[in-house]
Amino acid sequence: MKLYPIETGNLKLDGGAMFGVVPKILWQKVYPCDENNLCNWAMRCLLVVDGDRKILIDNGIGSKQDEKWLSHYYLNGEETLETSLAAIGLSPADITDMIITHMHFDHCGGSVNWNADKTGYELAFPNATYWTSRRQFEWATNPNRREEASYLKENIMPIHESGRLRLIDEEGEYIPNIIFKLYDGHTEGQVIPHINYNGRTVVFMADLMPSAAHIPMPWIMAYDTRPLVTLQDRERFYAEALANDYILFLEHDLYNEACTLQDTLKGARVAKKGKLPEFIQ
């Protein structure tokens, strides 16, 4: 098995939204912002190559939205999904499995592209089975008013209509060496893949913990629909991560690809952070 971080570009989001009730005087010490209070965040995906299977986890914001819509997120960075895959000799057609942790636009926008003449849509990964949870799919297709701007039909319905979408109802090992676990709070039925890599567990954290700066227990995004549930789910996840020395892969942290945890008198804190190869070599 080989693991490859796949950079798809960055976006800027309001620091207050990203750190919730935590005062700016605290969070700006660990995660910088610009003069407009905007923090720069990665949209980093993970490719798992295991035998003949090439499994991509999340796929970024995509490119099919119009310029006005994209301008709200100040996209930046040189990498795209396609260039990052090409750098390791692959194309979207090589992906066999596409795991979508949840269907917010910055996690699944790259699932679907315009067709050649922009009269309709086509799957970006034409040979892949797409995976997410049934609860997340039902939540995304019948969104609440607080979240509905994050769920774009053009990112979701073409996958469903293609017949290539697999919906899971329970936690389990649906792909060899990858256990799908489910967490709520940020949104319903978020899939958090746990990857068995050479006897270690690498966890794709998605929005359960978007960056190393979010490790302290109350540092929960304002985007989370049920922050007290996020708190409960983090508590059970941290207990497992500390007991088993999990490697946490960070989707949104611009400065760190991965980290590990240590237990302290103040609760879980960073033990080590850096690039993924520093943890798995």
Question: Any idea what the CATH number is for the domain that residue 122 is in?
Answer: 3.60.15.10
pLDDT at 260 over 90: yes
Q: Which among 150, 50, 147, 153 has a CA at the least distance from the CA of 99? A: 50
pLDDT at 45: 98
Dist. CA 159–CA 249, nearest whole Å: 26
Q: What is the mean predicted confidence (pLDDT) over 261-269? A: 96
Q: What is the mean predicted confidence (pLDDT) over 147-169? A: 96
pLDDT at 281: 77
Place of tokens 């090439």: 54
User: How many domains in the chain?
Assistant: 1
- In this prediction the pTM is 0.97
Q: What is the average pLDDT value for the chain, to the nearest integer?
A: 97
pLDDT at 203 over 90: yes
Q: What is the mean predicted confidence (pLDDT) over 191-209? A: 97
In single-letter form, the type of residue at position 93 comes to A
Dist. CA 80–CA 87, nearest whole Å: 11
Percent residues over pLDDT 90 in the chain: 98
In 87-233, DSSP assigns E strands to: 97-99, 112-114, 121-123, 129-133, 165-168, 172-175, 178-183, 190-197, 200-204
pLDDT at 111 over 80: yes
Q: What is the mean predicted confidence (pLDDT) over 206-214? A: 98
Instruction: Give per-residue pLDDT as tens, 138-154.
Output: 999 999 888 999 999 99
Structure confidence at residue 126 as a pLDDT band (50, 70, 90): very high
pLDDT at 184: 97
pLDDT at 186 over 90: yes
Structure confidence at residue 166 as a pLDDT band (50, 70, 90): very high
- Residues of the domain holding 254: 2-280
pLDDT at 132: 98
Dist. CA 105–CA 109, nearest whole Å: 5
Q: Token digits for 29? A: 């010490």
